[in-house]
Amino acid sequence: MNLRNYTCGKWNEAAGAGDILRDPVTGEELARVSSANVSWSESLAFARTHGASALRKLSYRERADLLAKMADCLAANRDEYFRISLLNSGATQADASFDVDGAIYTVKYYAKIGRGLGEGHLLKEGASIPLSKNNSFAAQHFLEPAKGAAILINAFNFPAWGWCEKAAPALLSGVPVIIKPASPTAWLTQRMVEDVVNAGILPPGAISIVCGSAREMLDHVREEDVISFTGSAETAAKIRGHENVLRRGIRVNVEADSINSAILGPDVSPSSGLFDLFVNEVIREMTLKAGQKCTAIRRIFVPRSQMQALGAAIATQLGAIKVGNPRNPEVKVGPVVNRAQQSACLASIAKLKQECSVLFGGDDQFQPLDADRQKSSFVQPTLLACKDAAVAKAVHTVEVFGPVATLIPYDAVGDLIAAVRKGEGSLVASVFSDDAAFTQETILGIGDLHGRIMAVDSSVGTQFTGHGNVLPSCLHGGPGRAGGGEELAGLRALLLYHRRFVVQGPPATIAEIAALSSDAGLLYS
């Protein structure tokens, strides 16, 4: 099966041999992708002209209604998305739900809050600023939807949520989307887009999908376009540094990799409920989606005195978890996405082993349940312990994109903060402690290098949303190595797809434009 591309308002058969998508459990070929016969210049031009102009004729409220229809359409086909997730990503039910249900929830969320923006066609930001003594000249800031296309380049690990969390705010803004899923798992994204297209919800040109390589696409982007990228820091650097992207000053939002931290406070004893919550959260982060989450816990900071107790508690739980073919209902951890990712994980584990001891797992000859080790792509859940935190480097720099985490001991809060900061910018850190002063000092010590910090104490108990759980109402992204991007955060996500300008002129001119606008205040509420 060759996955068809949808550009210029029509489906095109993929040309050439293409890249192969496989079942990561059996190794069987499932589909192929190719962008060989896609004209990027025509595809982008069609989206900018037909798609953008049709979307911009609608108000924010009308576009929010389109999102609601999209969410209904996706929800109606949910079972099929679970089937594809199992086949192409080796996803357990929980893994598939995290991606697919997260996607549908996010589109619904934007449909709901987008209606609040009402009938405007652009956004008025802040109050009018008087610029003359007699009030004949003033200024007003506006946000206007970009008149280009949003190019959404996604990573392999969230084939459903990845495009939906970007497309919902882009479409609500009135900007057409061109979706470029990662090749290894493009099938699910392609199928979801196919369902939306076939349902006839969006105007022609508002949504396109290209499966397969997008290397030449960057030659054709223009200043009115927006690139929203999720993937590795290495690819992000290529996109940012592309000659056409630099020359035209194209807006690029980057969500890249991240060495996230979970911190156990010095006050938390192994006999406490908070300790158990911490252990459960580490286990969840290591095992859900086989650790293939950009937000997953990679570094576990623990008071030196609790190193042994925590290591034993996590290792015991890991030992009870079945890893193998997700068609077996007992299995809780499936494979990583393909053999290339498996090799990358094993190579990264080998690097970490140079400065860590193995507390659990780490066997590169690991035999999964109900799967052929030679054909599948499993990585054994692995817990490492840093031997000498003072000199360790790899634990802070090597992202193992799989079910692997490392314990790192700390003595004082100052050392802890310095060590966490060695991640050079992360998406998320979580702090589990009942010591309010410790939590506050830690948050303030690392906040500037994190997009999100989750604090849990005994009063929260089990009521927290999860270290790795990205909510549409809250900021997703992180500085430095994490890419410096900002996504979600409710309606603030629309800022990426709008351009700010200030009109300086007579109050009557400003009032005429303001009459077409909705109040941007809601974005910041």
Helix (H) or strand (E) holding 19: strand 19-22
CA distance 439 to 131: 46
Q: Please, what is the minimum distance in Å from the beta carbon of residue 156 to ligand NAP?
A: 4
Token digits for 8? 């210029």
CA distance 345 to 392: 19
Q: Does 156 bind ligand NAP (CB under 6 A)?
A: yes
Q: Please, what is the minimum distance in Å from the beta carbon of residue 140 to ligand NAP?
A: 35
Q: Considering beta carbons, is residue 245 or 523 the nearer one to ligand NAP?
A: 245
Q: Does 71 bind ligand NAP (CB under 6 A)?
A: no
Q: Please, what is the minimum distance in Å from the beta carbon of residue 35 to ligand NAP?
A: 8
Q: Considering beta carbons, is residue 344 or 513 the nearer one to ligand NAP?
A: 344
- Residues in contact with ligand NAP, shown as a per-residue x/- string from 284 to 323 under the rule CB under 6 A: ----------x-----------------------------
Pairing of strands 226-230, 251-255: parallel
Q: What is the side-by-side order of every strand in the sheet holding 260-264? A: 356-360, 382-386, 404-410, 297-303, 260-264, 426-432, 450-456
User: Is 345 annotated as catalytic?
Assistant: no
CA distance 518 to 125: 9
Q: Does 91 bind ligand NAP (CB under 6 A)?
A: no
Q: Please, what is the minimum distance in Å from the beta carbon of residue 63 to ligand NAP?
A: 24
Which of 239, 282, 310, 455 touches ligand NAP by CB under 6 A? Answer: 239
Q: Does 230 bind ligand NAP (CB under 6 A)?
A: yes
Q: Output the CA–CA distances (angstroms, integers) from residue 339 to 173, 346, 374, 375, in the order listed.
A: 39, 10, 10, 8
Q: Among 24-32, 55-63, 107-115, 253-261, which window interacts with ligand NAP (CB under 6 A)?
A: 253-261
Question: Helix 60-76 crosses helix 186-198 at what angle (to 10 degrees)?
Answer: 120
Collect all residues with Cβ–Cβ distance below 8 Å to 268 and sequence separation of at least 6: 274, 275, 278, 306, 432, 433, 434
Cα–Cα–Cα angle for 227, 205, 72, nearest 5°? 90
Q: Does 38 bind ligand NAP (CB under 6 A)?
A: no
What residues from 192 to 221 belong to the interface with ligand NAP (CB under 6 A)?
A: 213-215, 218
User: Is 294 annotated as catalytic?
Assistant: yes
Q: Considering beta carbons, is residue 277 or 300 the nearer one to ligand NAP?
A: 300
Residues written for the chain: 525
Q: Considering beta carbons, is residue 182 or 310 the nearer one to ligand NAP?
A: 182
CA distance 360 to 346: 15
Collect all residues with Cβ–Cβ distance below 8 Å to 53 and sequence separation of at least 6: none
CA distance 267 to 410: 13
Q: Does 154 bind ligand NAP (CB under 6 A)?
A: yes
Q: CB–CB of 162/135 below 8 Å?
A: no
CA-based torsion, 80, 83, 87, 88: positive or negative: positive
Count of CB atoms situated within 10 Å of the CB of 72: 15
Q: Does 256 bind ligand NAP (CB under 6 A)?
A: yes
Q: Among 39-47, 229-237, 274-282, 387-395, which window interacts with ligand NAP (CB under 6 A)?
A: 229-237
CA distance 233 to 358: 27
Q: Output the CA–CA distances (angstroms, integers) from residue 47 to 124, 179, 189, 357, 390, in the order listed.
A: 26, 11, 19, 53, 53
CA distance 103 to 1: 25
What residues from 370 to 399 belong to the interface with ligand NAP (CB under 6 A)?
A: 399
Q: Please, what is the minimum distance in Å from the beta carbon of residue 173 to ligand NAP?
A: 20
Token digits for 391? 């000199």
Q: Does 401 bind ligand NAP (CB under 6 A)?
A: yes
How many residues touch ligand NAP (CB under 6 A)? 28
Q: Please, what is the minimum distance in Å from the beta carbon of residue 307 to ligand NAP?
A: 27
Q: Considering beta carbons, is residue 482 or 522 the nearer one to ligand NAP?
A: 482
- Residues in contact with ligand NAP, shown as a per-residue x/- string from 160 to 189 under the rule CB under 6 A: --------------------x-xx------
- Residues in contact with ligand NAP, shown as a per-residue x/- string from 328 to 357 under the rule CB under 6 A: ------------------------------
Which of 23, 255, 285, 355 touches ligand NAP by CB under 6 A? Answer: 255
Q: Please, what is the minimum distance in Å from the beta carbon of residue 399 to ligand NAP?
A: 6
Q: Does 257 bind ligand NAP (CB under 6 A)?
A: yes
The one catalytic residue in 125, 144, 165, 255 is 255
The one catalytic residue in 8, 73, 211, 294 is 294
CA distance 51 to 45: 9
Q: CB–CB of 409/307 below 8 Å?
A: yes
Which residues are the active-site residues? 255, 294
Residues within the interface to ligand NAP (CB under 6 A): 153-158, 180, 182-183, 213-215, 218, 230-232, 235, 238-239, 255-257, 294, 399, 401, 427, 482-483
